[in-house]
């Protein structure tokens, strides 16, 4: 069921993005939608959920000015700021939201395949009850979170490996429009 939902989200996003004006990732602003395909925990426990049903949306802003360090490696492109939100089932099956800001830095390009790193920081809400203290600083039901990702983009499609704390890793796929 999760695979069918993921495929439907990607198909609808692609159909929606191919009607009307399209903003390519090289233009001023663009959106992306993504969903989770695979999750694993580094130290699995019976109560862990590996089916996150993630749906995420991000808005990318204009490129940031070139930094002095980008001049040392021509493969690096300009960084882009981003805002996003993701709805998913956490490791314990509870409905959770992560609202964040961050930055995407292009790394090495291989023809039409662009690799990149992304770092987001924001707030996560949804760990409740007996699982409230499974994430740090969650005394008020909202906890700070920092999430690093590595990704590869081919044309408008992309895949990302997301590290969620020291708990595990998730593979997401999506489309830009």
Segment 105-162, tens digit of pLDDT: 988 889 999 999 999 999 999 999 999 999 999 988 999 999 999 999 999 999 999 9
Mean pLDDT value across residues 91-115: 94
pLDDT of residue 94: 96
Distance CA 3, CA 51 (A): 10
Residue 78 has pLDDT above 50, yes or no: yes
pLDDT of residue 23: 42
Return the domain boundaries, the chain: 2-176
177: confidence class by pLDDT, cuts 50, 70, 90 = confident
Q: Which residue has the higher pLDDT, 168 or 67?
A: 168
Which architecture characterizes domain 2-176 according to CATH? Beta Barrel (2.40)
Distance CA 174, CA 35 (A): 6
Residue 6 has pLDDT above 80, yes or no: no
For 160, the 3-state DSSP assignment is strand
Distance CA 3, CA 161 (A): 17
Q: Which is it for the CA torsion 87, 93, 94, 100, positive or negative?
A: negative
């Amino acid at each position: 069921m999760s695979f069918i939902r993921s495929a439907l989200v990607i198909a609808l996003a692609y159909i929606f993005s191919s009607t009307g004006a399209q903003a390519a990732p090289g233009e001023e602003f663009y959106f992306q939608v993504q969903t989770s395909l695979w999750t694993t925990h580094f130290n699995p426990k019976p109560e862990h959920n590996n089916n996150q049903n993630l749906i995420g949306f991000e808005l990318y802003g204009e490129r940031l000015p070139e930094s002095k360090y980008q001049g040392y490696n021509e493969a690096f492109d300009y960084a882009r700021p981003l805002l996003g939100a993701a709805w998913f089932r956490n490791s314990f099956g509870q409905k959770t939201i992560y609202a964040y800001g961050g930055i995407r830095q292009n790394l090495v390009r291989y023809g039409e395949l662009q690799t990149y790193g992304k770092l987001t920081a924001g707030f996560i809400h949804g760990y409740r009850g007996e699982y409230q203290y499974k994430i740090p600083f969650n005394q008020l039901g909202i906890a700070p979170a920092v999430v690093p990702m590595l990704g590869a983009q081919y044309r408008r499609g992309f895949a990302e490996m997301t590290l969620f704390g020291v708990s595990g890793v998730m593979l997401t796929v999506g489309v830009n429009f």
